[in-house]
Structure 1
Amino acid sequence: MHDLHYRALPAPLKPLADKFYRSHRSQMRTRHEDQVWVAQDSEIVAALCLRPVAQGHWLTGLFVAPAQRQRGLASQLIELALTHTAGAIWLFCHPELGPFYRRLDFMPCANLPPALHERLLRYQRSKALIALERCN
């Protein structure tokens, strides 16, 4: 693999992230208001979305191509995106991913913005998830 480039996708190129998600049969999708960050060489190999909410952003849609996992791409992509993003960052994850996110300075969050709190409760009806927060 060549050197990877990490960047925010300009709005006209956001459909490339959706194409990446679909190519891996992921149900993740971007929204118009999302900041979309990617790692790519000739093609996208990792992506995430930062969706504006309250006085911060919800980190969602983090996905690394299976063949590229365990190489630090997710950590690098998150760190770059968050250095360019002000305010609190919230995310939901499976409990077993908690240690990964704690290494990136995310901490358990007991006080989510109302919109995210309601969403988390809905998601928790069908899967085990925890809420984490990082203040930038």
Structure 2
Amino acid sequence: MYIVELLDELKIPLVNKFYKKHNVRGRANKQDKVWVTYYNNEIVAACRLQDKTEFLFLSTVFVVLEHRGKGVAKQLLSTLLKSQNKTLYTFAYKNVVDLYCAIGFNQVLTYTLALQVLFDTYKHRNVVALEYP
């Protein structure tokens, strides 16, 4: 059974260890809200939510290979989205855009200056800017 929860700030080193173990780019810090999915008391998925003042930014979404295709990312993101009341943006790799659209994300059509500056640091990665709701 998969369990999704907001990680306590004191446990952030655990998610960074998880990311490092799986060669995931990016690290969580104490300002991030880190959401994880556990399976048998082990982290099998994680993501970071950063407050950028004007909006929230979702990044470093990762699911362990053995747990992909089982709805883990959908459950993780759906749970996280229920607790948010600000516009949320993410830059999704093109091969997973359909997953995000299925849970309510839409492609960004108009960029604020702050979002454009952030996107410029990611655009070489073959990503699409998405927003929720």
Shorter-chain TM-score above 0.5 = yes
Counterpart of 1:9 in structure 2 is 7
Counterpart of 1:132 in structure 2 is 130
Equivalent residues of 1:54, 1:113 under 8 A apart: no
CA-CA distance at 1:122 after TM superposition = 2.8
CA-CA distance at 1:113 after TM superposition = 3.9
Q: RMSD value over aligned CA atoms?
A: 1.4
Q: Distance in 1 between matches of 2:44 and 2:53?
A: 30
Equivalent residues of 2:2, 2:72 under 8 A apart: no
Task: Decide whether aligned partners of structure 1 residues 31 and 110 sit closer, same or farther in structure 2, where only a CA change above 3 A counts.
Answer: farther
- Say how many residue pairs are matched: 132
Where 1:19 maps in the other structure, the secondary structure is helix
Q: Distance in 2 between matches of 1:64 and 1:73?
A: 7
Q: Distance in 1 between matches of 2:110 and 2:52?
A: 14
Equivalent residues of 1:90, 1:131 under 8 A apart: yes
CA-CA distance at 1:112 after TM superposition = 3.5
**TM-score where L is the length of structure 2:** 0.91
What stretches of structure 1 move > 6 A for 4+ residues in a row? none
Query: How does 1:3-42 map onto structure 2 within 5 Å?
Result: 3-40=1-38, 41-42=40-41
Where 1:93 maps in the other structure, the secondary structure is strand
Q: Which runs of 5+ in 1 are unaligned?
A: none
Equivalent residues of 2:16, 2:28 under 8 A apart: yes
Q: Distance in 2 between matches of 1:63 and 1:97?
A: 11
Give, as a single letter, the amino acid of the residue that structure 1 aligns with 2:17. K
CA-CA distance at 1:65 after TM superposition = 0.7
> What CA deviation, in whole Å up to 9, does each residue of 1:5-61 have, x standing for no partner?
110011101111101101111122112211100011321000011100233310101
Q: Distance in 1 between matches of 2:15 and 2:4?
A: 13
Q: Which runs of 5+ in 2 are unaligned?
A: none
**TM-score where L is the length of structure 1:** 0.89
Query: How does 1:1-136 map onto structure 2 within 5 Å?
Result: 3-40=1-38, 41-124=40-123, 126-135=124-133
Q: Distance in 2 between matches of 1:9 and 1:127?
A: 27
Q: Distance in 1 between matches of 2:35 and 2:125?
A: 26
CA-CA distance at 1:115 after TM superposition = 2.8
